[in-house]
Amino acid sequence: MRKIGIVGAGQAGLQLGIGLRRDGYEVVMTSNQTAAQIGDGRVTSSQCMFDRALESERRLGLDFWHDAPPVEGIQFSLVPGGNTALSWSSRLDRPGKSVDQRIKMPRWMEEFERLGGDLRIADVDKAGLEALSKECDLVVVASGKGEIGRLFERDDSRSPFDKPQRSLALTYVHGMTPRAEHSAVNFNLIPGVGEYFVFPALTLSGPCEIMVFEGLVGGPMDRWAAVTTPAEHLAESLRILREYLPDEYARAKDVTLTDDRGILAGRFAPTVRKPVLRLPSGAHALGMGDTVCLNDPITGQGANNASHCAATYHAAIVAHGNRPFDAPFMQSAFDHYWDYAQFVVAWTNNMLLPPPDHMVRILGAAQMDARIAHWFVNGFNDPRTYFPTITDPALTDAFLRRAA
């Protein structure tokens, strides 16, 4: 049986590895963290996943968290100067879900080993990749933002930003007042300051809410560098809400941290990389997930993308049968994924720029017309549906006229 080597036990690597084990492939997976280290570590994401990605997990029997609170819709609010100028919400046709990766990845590692996968703990470097390529028919690098991913060449034509566009922070909390109607991602846009979104999730201590801060770099929501303790992180989170989002502050004023590691602050530049790495020996490795397609979290798509990438590569590997996993195979597997991911990247990168007038017209129309709100909200589950409508003012206006 063919042997596949995977570097990185995250959303992408584990989903692919477990899928391939189920199809009888030998799989070696190398992780630079043990399951216990991941479980005891810091949060890394808000990991809200929508139905199409969740369906890939369900198909592999990986949906272990039926008690995770559902994300039933999305609310969008425009809040300039502390005053709500626009606010509407719509339901997702099928709910989303967020399971803390500190719970999910250790459980999936256990499942991978239960299925006979070979899990090794090591920080893979270039020599490690060479060794893996001698041992395996195919090497896939799913190392997320890990250093080794930098071996893959940046694709300048697909990476418009060379600097971080947002200062990011996460705050996992208990004790937030639930929304009055259905549960939702509450997405707030604060012009000139940044974005804040919040939604229910499952963490180590049970159901919680995850607060996500996307501050314009150097702006008033980018003060995390001065924060030194978890208590200060929570205080800074609440300061932002108190100053810019009074409605959200009212829901959040009594929250407590889920745990001292339920916080994160950082930044990175969204980057697409070329998917095929040629090693000094002439062997090749294929990049997947965040390693080759790293998006800003503003649209909550990275874990969804990683899942789609795993599903696409899984199908490509199986369809390839006994033929060699050479560089053309790798490029073609990624190209299939890019057929989808290019729309997510384009939409996400657009969301990082000041919204053009025609986007503002869509968001305004959604307030008046429930069908437009429904279209926009359900696009998070498949961002291809926004295209080409959002690319051109004439197409947007034609779409809005048709809807009316």
Residues 6+ apart with CB under 8 A from 152: 141, 273, 274, 275, 277, 287, 291, 292
Q: Which helix (H) or strand (E) holds 7?
A: strand 3-7
Q: Which member of 19, 33, 188, 329 binds ligand FAD (CB under 6 A)?
A: 33
Q: Which member of 48, 74, 109, 317 binds ligand FAD (CB under 6 A)?
A: 48
**Strand-pair partners of 209:** 173, 200
State which residue, 9 or 99, has the beta carbon closest to ligand FAD.
9
Asked if 148 interacts with ligand FAD (CB under 6 A), we say yes
Residue 312 CA: distances (Å) to CA of 226, 332, 393: 42, 11, 33
Stretch that binds ligand FAD, among 62-70, 152-160, 239-247, 297-305 (CB under 6 A): 297-305
Q: Which member of 13, 200, 262, 379 binds ligand FAD (CB under 6 A)?
A: 13
Stretch that binds ligand FAD, among 222-230, 303-311, 343-351, 368-376 (CB under 6 A): 303-311
Asked if 262 interacts with ligand FAD (CB under 6 A), we say no
Query: If phi over 0 gives left and psi between -120 and 50 gives alpha, with beta otherwise, what is residue 206?
Result: left
Token pair 């459980």 is found at 107
Q: Which member of 17, 194, 287, 302 binds ligand FAD (CB under 6 A)?
A: 302
Least Å from the CB of residue 70 to ligand FAD: 15
Asked if 31 interacts with ligand FAD (CB under 6 A), we say yes
Q: Which member of 300, 334, 347, 383 binds ligand FAD (CB under 6 A)?
A: 300
Strand, coil or helix: 105:
helix
Strand boundaries in 156-266, DSSP class E: 166-174, 185-190, 194-203, 206-216, 256-257, 263-266
Size of interface with ligand FAD, in residues (CB under 6 A): 36
The Cα 233–Cα 116 span in angstroms is: 42
Q: Which member of 142, 221, 285, 365 binds ligand FAD (CB under 6 A)?
A: 142
Asked if 5 interacts with ligand FAD (CB under 6 A), we say no
Asked if 165 interacts with ligand FAD (CB under 6 A), we say no
State which residue, 72 or 358, has the beta carbon closest to ligand FAD.
72
Stretch that binds ligand FAD, among 10-18, 152-160, 251-259, 342-350 (CB under 6 A): 10-18
Geometric angle at alpha carbon 156, from 152 and 162, rounded to 5°? 95
Q: Smallest Cα–Cα separation from 107: which of 204, 23, 24, 32?
A: 204
Residues that bind ligand FAD (CB under 6 A): 7-13, 30-33, 45-49, 123-124, 142-146, 148, 168, 170, 212, 289-290, 297, 300-304, 306
